[in-house]
């Protein structure tokens, strides 16, 4: 029995060190060399301080900012540790109620806007963390943001155009606007 146990324990310890220490260190080192921004969390840094991530949305609620997709995470929005979708089907009454509430909030924030509300402003993404909205969702909010900041709506629309991204490699995904980057550009505008 001793002859079987000793090699098994030795192999377990050796493989634990190789796969639990050396391999993760090697992969992390290669990632930091090849993809330094992504390996560090794709952070957006201003004045030497991280203010957000390229990959995780933030909860903007003031009228002077563009609002992102609703977050499906709880207890706080855009909580990366609780990433999940709502898992509510299209016929679920809870989804219909949530969408209705979100539409009412958008209408209350911009009562003069009669246009249809883009779907991505009232439904959460699969992860509940999406940092992007469609250009149509950004354009829907442009008048409210311009009015709140007392700036020309055309200047806001130009910022939307400047911060719009096309599909990845020209074919994968949809056009999108990174909400945090757009809001940072708005904050940089001098009146």
Residue 184's H or E segment, with its range, is helix 179-188
Domain holding 183, by residue range, is 42-188
DSSP-assigned states of every residue in 18-44: IIIIIHHHHHHHHHHHH-HHHHTT-EE
* Tens digit of each residue's pLDDT, the chain (191 residues): 778 888 889 999 999 999 999 999 999 999 889 988 878 888 888 888 988 888 888 999 999 999 999 988 878 888 888 787 777 888 989 889 989 999 999 999 999 899 999 999 999 888 888 899 999 999 999 999 999 999 999 999 999 999 999 988 888 989 999 999 999 999 988 65
Same domain, 6 and 81: no
Separation between Cα atoms, residue 147 and residue 58, nearest integer Å: 22
Same domain, 72 and 155: yes
Length of the chain: 191
> Cα–Cα–Cα angle for 68, 72, 78, nearest 5°?
60
**Pick from 137, 150, 135: which is nearest to 186 by CA?**
150
Per-residue pLDDT, 149: 93
Same domain, 53 and 111: yes
Same domain, 13 and 67: no
**Tokens 């719009």 identify what position?**
164
Same domain, 21 and 50: no
| Neighbouring residues of 68: CB distance < 8 A, sequence distance ≥ 6 | 57, 58, 59, 60, 130, 131, 132, 133, 179
Q: Are 185 and 147 in contact (CB under 8 A)?
A: no
Same domain, 14 and 57: no
Same domain, 108 and 170: yes
Same domain, 15 and 73: no
How many domains, in total, are found in the chain? 2
Same domain, 104 and 15: no
Whether the model clears a pTM of 0.85, i.e. scores above it, the answer is no
Same domain, 6 and 54: no
Same domain, 15 and 61: no
Same domain, 102 and 172: yes
């Amino acid at each position: 029995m001793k002859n079987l146990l000793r090699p098994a324990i030795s192999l377990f310890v050796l493989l634990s060190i190789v796969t639990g220490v050396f391999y993760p260190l090697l992969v992390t080192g290669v990632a930091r060399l090849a993809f330094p921004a992504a390996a560090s969390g794709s952070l957006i840094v201003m004045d030497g301080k991280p203010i957000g991530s390229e990959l995780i949305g933030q909860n903007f609620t003031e009228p002077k900012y563009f609002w992102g997709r609703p977050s499906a995470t709880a207890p706080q929005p855009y909580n990366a540790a609780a990433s999940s979708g709502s898992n509510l089907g299209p016929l679920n009454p809870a989804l219909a109620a949530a969408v209705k509430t979100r539409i009412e909030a958008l209408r209350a924030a911009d009562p003069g806007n009669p246009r249809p509300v883009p779907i991505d402003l009232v439904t959460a993404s699969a992860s509940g963390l999406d940092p992007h909205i469609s250009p149509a969702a950004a354009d829907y909010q442009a008048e409210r943001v311009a009015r709140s900041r007392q700036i020309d709506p055309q200047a806001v629309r130009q910022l939307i155009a400047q911060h719009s991204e096309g599909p990845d490699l020209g074919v994968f995904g949809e056009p999108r606007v990174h909400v945090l980057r757009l809001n940072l550009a708005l904050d940089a505008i001098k009146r």
